[in-house]
Amino acid sequence: MYKRKTGAHKMPVDQIQLSKFLSFVLRHKPDEIGLTLGPEGWVNIFKVDAGGMHAKGLKFYRADNGVWLTDHVPPEFLT
């Protein structure tokens, strides 16, 4: 459970962890994960429909560190 000043709000732990990770990286080390901030300090983040890509036959592979990668993400799989 995630506590806020306005009361308890259920939020999945993985979303909390991702949010904290992105906050840290965007503030301190965006270049270390390949992000380039715009002149105002913003970055675009997209949600990738990996399941849809897989269903269409696009290939994925796993890096040594366990992260799933692909060579290209067509725009129709981004939201």
The pTM assigned to this predicted structure is: 0.55
Say if residues 33 and 25 touch (Cβ distance below 8 Å). yes
User: Which of 4 and 65 is assigned the larger pLDDT?
Assistant: 65
pLDDT averaged over the chain?
87
**CA–CA separation, 34 vs 8, rounded Å?**
35
pLDDT at 32: 87
Task: Decide which of 6 and 41 is more confident.
Answer: 41
15: which 2 tokens? 């979303």
Q: Are 70 and 59 in contact (CB under 8 A)?
A: yes
For residue 69, the 8-state DSSP code is E
pLDDT at residue 6 in the model: 52
What are the residue boundaries of the structural domains of the chain, listed by start? 1-45, 46-79
pLDDT tens for each residue of 27-57 = 998 888 888 899 998 888 899 999 999 999 9
